Structure 1
């Protein structure tokens, strides 16, 4: 029997770069993970229904890239090698094949009903990006951001907070001199971002880096017709805490980015 969707107050995405050292294979950032756990506990103590989705970070990306898992074994002449890479990626991700299946990269079967059931029972579901079976390519990489978009599409979600290793979205890569934090990213009803933004993805990130994060935020805002705000904050920051436990907007003294829908008059 299908479970009835339960309202979700908050979806927290723990970015792979925030909780792992992406330049070092299978290396945690313990301090960031402890801060994340503290934040989730605060939310639960406030009586909020929370879903946590975390990126794989330095777990799985190297194996997925080396064996071209994203493309699947049906489109690669070295299918057995992709199959082997699929297994290695799964093993690596499981150190931190659910019910998710894709068709040429698009989700056709999700585990959302199970998430809903666990929420109703008082649990905090924890999901992550992973390699999954694909009916067209054999297998592919399902990003945590795609999981979040599916949750927002199938459940009533109050807000989404992406926790990253930097304060938010910048007008160019934050390590570039002169980079400025963008506090508000406005998106028109066609999905076009008003501001000019230059993104920079790490070469080992097979799920799209910051470009996918931003496009996911835009899609969430669009598919909800602007009713689901998306915030990007630094893990462990006061901004992240205030937004997660009930804040509706960033205070003037808090660093972060909110993605909103800009309707034409």
Structure 2
């Protein structure tokens, strides 16, 4: 792989590299936040339809990366896909929960999101990864749709003991709206300054951030680099998310990730990559120098 296609977020550290089953991996401890997109794991156009083959392959890649890299610590998150988003959209949960019917919808959305989490955790466990499901709504507290509190202690303990905690987009209590929805990106943004990951990887359906909606007939080009300085221009051309997405689609994801890199000193960059490209998730987990997808950093171009 040529030098022009690689970047090294650890260029100022003493972490070395070692060849194994992956092309090249880090020696030493590294904490990575990995998100598996809801549209990657499910068919977001049909209620509660899983893509079992995709999930099984990704689980195997994650387990293999953990086996390749004994020092890798991994916090996994996933979207709710057609399990949570369609139910939340039906009941308007993101905008607030007030009536008895809306509270029933809140509970239904929470159950649907937890159901997908169970499937993801089971697939990871079957592949050999030490996955532990952690329910965000058990401790999350929001104010006017913004996440203000989430208990970090279970996640910190899981990571310290060699487990891979798995969080997900979920319902959350809100002192203004009653209830709302929190995305995995919002959870990552809350956790990152507290857990100090070195990298964040978002795996979705597309090769990265594209200049056109991937569901449209237009051919979108890959946006290779995004920084705070280029974000306004990027937001004008961003494609959306296929199917129902109550958390804002790609524009919201990119905005959250730009904010995350600006507020997390430990974080070199966020990578948005394709989870449909076989072997790529394992490769980027093993080697931070792999140049794939879109890179979001706090640096100016």
Range into which the TM-score falls when normalised by the shorter chain? 0.7 to 0.9
Alignment root-mean-square deviation, CA: 2.1
Deviations 1:107-139 (A, max 9, x none): 222022210011111111000111111122110
Structure 1 segments (4+ residues) deviating >6 Å: none
| Unaligned ranges ≥5, structure 1 | 1-6
2:74/2:164 contact within 8 Å kept: yes
Deviations 1:215-264 (A, max 9, x none): 122111211258431001111434432221122340xxxx4111123337
1:102/1:108 contact within 8 Å kept: yes
Are 1:25 and 2:53 an aligned pair? no
- Counterpart in 2 of 1:59? 83
Instruction: Give the number of equivalent residue pairs.
Output: 248
2:227/2:258 contact within 8 Å kept: no
Mapped partners of 1:8, 1:37: distance in 2: 19
Mapped partners of 2:159, 2:52: distance in 1: 27
2:196/2:267 contact within 8 Å kept: no
Deviations 1:60-101 (A, max 9, x none): 212211111112224xxxx11211110111121121232111
- Counterpart in 2 of 1:91? 111
Cα deviation, residue 58, structure 1: 0.4
- Counterpart in 1 of 2:100? 80
Cα deviation, residue 171, structure 1: 1.4
Cα deviation, residue 11, structure 1: 0.6
Deviations 1:183-227 (A, max 9, x none): 222332xx7445452322446211111112111221112112584
Give me the TM-score of the superposition, normalised by structure 1: 0.86
Aligned mate of 1:181, from 208, 222, 226: 222
Mapped partners of 1:67, 1:41: distance in 2: 36
- Counterpart in 2 of 1:155? 195
Mapped partners of 2:212, 2:266: distance in 1: 25
1:134-173 aligned within 5 A: 134-173=174-213
For 1:22, what is the secondary structure of its paired residue? coil
1:226/1:260 contact within 8 Å kept: no
Which protein has the bigger helix share? 2
Cα deviation, residue 153, structure 1: 2.0
- Counterpart in 1 of 2:299? 262
